[in-house]
A and B are shown apart, each in its own frame.
Chain A
Amino acid sequence: MFSFLIHRLMILIPTFIGVTLAAFAFIRVIPGDPILVMAGERGITPERHAEMMTAFGFDKPIWEQYFSYIWQLLQGDLGTSIVTKQPVLEEFAALFPATIELSICALIVATVIGIPAGIIAAVKRGSFFDHSLMTLSLTGFSMPIFWWALLLIVFFSGFLGWTPVSGRISVMFYFDSVTGFMLIDSWLSGEEGAFKSALSHLILPSIALGTIPMAVFARQTRSAMLEILNEDFIKTARAKGLSNFRVIVVHAFRNALIPVITVIGLSVGVLLAGAILTETIFSWPGIGKWMVDSIFRRDYPVVQGGLILIAGIVMIINLTVDLCYGLIDPRIRNKR
């Protein structure tokens, strides 16, 4: 197991260095003057221009710029936002819990509905339920999620008036952030109705963000289950007289877990990409909206730092998924 971990890290580290190089090159490959590009249509005075050139170190040779950038990165300094003058890392840390909270809820929605639906479809293969589920799941998979989010708003917020349209909690509640997770904080605050308000703000974005993973989980669970249900050991288990439920859940589903965990792990990247659209539409103050806003404000230090942080997180999660397989299936960890 240990050598497996080392082997994975050996691949991960050069990739991460490549990621920093890519994010570093980001501003510098723009044809023309990066400061002028950042200033955009606002324009810039020559004095301010010279000041900015020094501040970003654009007047130094490129390799020197990269090394000082890496040196700062190693010290946890990802630069400072041009717009808010706040350190990028601090902004990220303040907004990240909102994205985690949304992603976890989306993942819960996707898992709780997608996996049982996939199991039932596989067991009742060829039935009406199976066909409708596969059609629905392909539709969910093909859904432009920004449009789906708008439809949810039209129906649940506009037509039924059940849920709020944007934000994380109603403005009438104010309490200090303890964990950064609004559901937990509102619970801890003890204010009446705060938890309910936080929950109602979370429902639509979670459904919107969870739809594509849900569709993928349902399909993947179904096909993994179909493969396992044909195996001899399932026939043995049935022949032993085990109950249908026990055969399906304990024997079959446990063996179908590896492909299912793979897609759950892989969906983290999908969730982060989806968070960009979902957070923008629901004005959810997380890192997806933060990145989009920064790109529009031409706040390049934030874009650069954000790219590195997000790529780092995706890589760590992928590594964790790999290690999980190693734990579940010894054949994988012993394979070179």
Chain B
Amino acid sequence: MSTETLNYSRDRSALAVVLSDFWHEFKQNHGALAGLVVMGLVVLMAVFADVIAPHSPIEQYRTAMLVPPVWQDGGSWEFILGTDSVGRDLLSRLIHGSRYSLYIGLIVIFISLTVGVMLGLLAAFFKGFVENLIMRAMDIILAFPSLLLALALVAILGPSLENAMVAIAVVLIPHFVRITRAQAIAELGKDYVAASQTMGAGVGRLMFINVLPNCMAPLIVQATLSFSTAILDAAALGFLGMGAQPPTPEWGSMLAVAREFILTASWLVTLPGLAILITVLSINLIGDGLRDALDPKMKRGKA
């Protein structure tokens, strides 16, 4: 029993060392910290949207259509960021929109990461036919411009937020497959894998317990960057009318509706786009920080 505890505590401290090392590297990067703070605020906004938002995101105030933001002539404190063409409060719609963006990002990453890692591991472990089949299929997906493929997929599946998420996930899968495969092949050549194999570990154990944890660093970075791509692409699909459908307060589809008021009510165009930009920028800042902190090659470059 005492050895068990000893092992356990040693593992714990090893993990703690890795994490504190990581945090030490990460906090050197002021941009990444700023990104983390902003992203934290966006998450809080999404979680407490019902509490924070002053109005309902879909209620139409027929007496207050196209009210400008409070700092412009004719603006009022009741609708701080103004209202849209049917009198919905823009601030409330933006706050609720953060839910959709995070939801889209999380679901897309979940699908593409899971499928991508599975396919990548299969390709690394089963060389020959399986590997060729998977990698050529990924080449085919990568041969199409991503947004075009997503657009075509949504056109087949029917325009909706769920189908847009599936389409974007499909387009992002190849990146995860390639990274997982390359990383797993490098790990498979190492002694600890051979040792585990000699001790009778099965393919499943080798894949998930031995190899996968050592492939995590680049996958985490890729997942972060894909998170921002997913938000951007979903907004683009929404903008083209192939994503979230009105009256959903999704930022991209809000921009699509606002397009006709571009010269008369510019706040309807500038603010949702700014929301997308700030969210995506903060995720990308975090992604940069993660890459610098996790990538050993970058560390050497710095020294």
Residue numbers of A with Cβ under 8 A of B are: 11, 14-16, 18-19, 22, 26, 29-30, 135, 138-139, 141-144, 146-148, 150-151, 153-154, 158, 226-227, 269-270, 272-274, 276-277, 280, 291-292, 295-296, 298, 303, 307, 310-311, 314-315
Q: Which residue of A lies closest to B156 (CB)?
A: A30
Among B86-94, B105-113, B134-142, B188-196, the one that faces the other chain is B134-142
Which one of B152, B241, B252, B283 has the highest number of Cβ atoms from chain A below 10 Å of its Cβ? B152
Which size class do B's interface residues fall under?
35 or more
Contact of A158 among B137, B262, B270 (CB under 8 A): B262
User: Inside 8 A of B156's CB, which chain A residues have their CB?
Assistant: 26, 29-30
8 pairs across A/B with beta carbons < 8 Å?
A139-B277, A141-B284, A147-B276, A154-B263, A154-B270, A295-B242, A307-B144, A311-B144
Among B47-55, B123-131, B231-239, the one that faces the other chain is B231-239
Known: A144-B255, A150-B269. 16 other contacts (CB 8 A): A11-B139, A18-B136, A29-B156, A30-B156, A139-B281, A144-B273, A144-B276, A147-B273, A150-B262, A154-B269, A158-B262, A269-B146, A277-B239, A277-B240, A292-B240, A311-B143
A59 to chain B, nearest CB (A): 21
Cross-chain contact B240 with A150 (CB below 8 angstroms): no
Contact of A276 among B145, B232, B283 (CB under 8 A): B145
User: Inside 8 A of B17's CB, which chain A residues have their CB?
Assistant: none
User: Inside 8 A of A151's CB, which chain B residues have their CB?
Assistant: 269-270, 273
Does B290 interact with chain A (Cβ within 8 Å)?
no
Complex Cα gap A223–B209 (Å):
35
> Which label, helix, strand, loop or mixed, suits the secondary structure of the A interface?
helix
Q: Which residue of A lies closest to B301 (CB)?
A: A227
User: Inside 8 A of B147's CB, which chain A residues have their CB?
Assistant: 273-274, 276-277
Does B228 interact with chain A (Cβ within 8 Å)?
yes
Q: Which residue of B lies closest to A20 (CB)?
A: B140
Cross-chain contact B263 with A315 (CB below 8 angstroms): no
Complex Cα gap A280–B241 (Å):
12
